């Protein structure tokens, strides 16, 4: 009995850690390249509070090292850096084709803005920066660079719909949409029934889980009736459900 409890506790901890890791990995990754310490810290702090996974570099050499470690969705780049000019670096950097780029600089002349755009900048912001505007620019760029590919399921929380990989749109009820939301956000990690019940706005003490099972069966049939693929929803016995395919939630915010 003790070994069973220890095994169950260990697996539950793994599921929780795995779920948290998956959720963190879904956050947009932003690299702030800025040598002015106060501004760099302010931008990173603001982006973190706005839900981005932001990190920083104070030089081009540090930025290159960060890029070697992981892929970033958006880069905020100052031009006047201690070890070189940001535009020269952009001209030489070939691995940024799938990355959003926002130049943040004190150079406000038209010739500088045109140079930045020619080097691939998606936005050119002149200091002093408005952090709210900057955050919105990052969000819009993230939506574009993270646009799902054709093999993905897309949950649209505005239209209450689910788009299948075959590009079939299935309209959802409020409960179906709120049920699928944490599952798709978790990207394959199991979500327990209590969290799913809460996400639908119900109280766990009074909710009959058979209602959830009936809803899942109806949802599967509805998707198949529209000509879509089978819903990639796995039942985790004694725990909950897991969405086993690649899925995205739109809008991102």
| Domain end (from 106, 128, 145) | 145
* pLDDT value at residue 68: 83
Backbone angles phi, psi at 166, to 5 degrees: -85, 5
In a domain, 2, yes or no: no
The token pair that represents 32 in the structure block? 């702030």
pLDDT at position 178 is 94
Per-residue confidence (pLDDT) for residue 165, from 0 to 100: 86
> Residue ranges of the chain with pLDDT lower than 70?
1-26, 146-150, 251-253
Please give the pLDDT value at position 199.
93
42 located within any domain: yes
pLDDT at res. 251 = 66
CA distance linking residue 44 with residue 30, whole number of Å: 9
- Domains: count for the chain: 2
Cα separations (Å) of 131 from 28, 44, 60, 76, 138?
Answer: 17, 10, 22, 12, 10
Kindly state whether residues 215 and 194 are assigned to the same domain: yes
Same domain, 132 and 227: no
Domain extent, residue 91, equals: 29-145
Supply the pTM of this predicted model: 0.56
Q: What integer pLDDT is reported at residue 147 of this predicted model? A: 64
pLDDT tens sequence across 173-227? 999 999 999 999 887 789 999 999 999 999 988 899 899 999 999 999 999 988 8
Q: Is residue 16 part of a domain?
A: no
CB 186 within 8 A of CB 22: yes
| Structure confidence at residue 166 (pLDDT) | 83
**105 and 82, same domain (yes or no):** yes
Q: Two tokens at 39? A: 């501004």
CATH label of the domain that carries residue 42: 3.40.50.2300
């Amino acid at each position: 009995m003790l070994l069973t409890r220890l095994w169950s506790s260990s697996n539950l901890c793994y599921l929780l850690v795995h779920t948290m890791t998956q959720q963190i990995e879904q956050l947009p990754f932003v690299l702030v390249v800025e040598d002015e310490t106060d501004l760099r810290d302010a931008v990173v702090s603001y982006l973190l509070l706005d839900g981005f996974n932001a990190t920083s570099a104070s030089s081009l050499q540090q930025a290159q090292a960060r890029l070697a470690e992981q892929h970033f969705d958006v880069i905020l780049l100052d031009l006047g850096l201690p070890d070189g000019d940001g535009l020269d670096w952009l001209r030489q950097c070939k691995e940024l084709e799938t990355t959003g780029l926002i130049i943040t600089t004190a150079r406000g002349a038209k010739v500088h803005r045109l140079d930045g755009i020619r080097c691939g900048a998606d936005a050119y912001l002149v200091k002093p920066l408005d952090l709210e505007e900057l955050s919105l620019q990052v969000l819009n760029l993230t939506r574009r660079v993270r646009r799902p590919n054709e093999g993905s399921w897309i949950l649209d929380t505005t239209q209450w719909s689910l788009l299948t990989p075959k590009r079939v749109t299935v309209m959802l009820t409020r409960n179906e949409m709120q049920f699928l939301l944490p599952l798709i956000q978790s990207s394959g990690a199991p979500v327990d029934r209590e969290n799913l019940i809460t996400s639908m706005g119900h109280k766990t003490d009074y909710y009959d889980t058979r209602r959830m099972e009936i809803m899942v069966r109806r949802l599967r049939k509805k998707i198949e009736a529209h000509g879509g693929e089978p819903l990639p929803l796995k039942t985790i016995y004694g725990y909950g459900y897991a969405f086993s395919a690649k899925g995205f939630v739109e809008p991102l915010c």
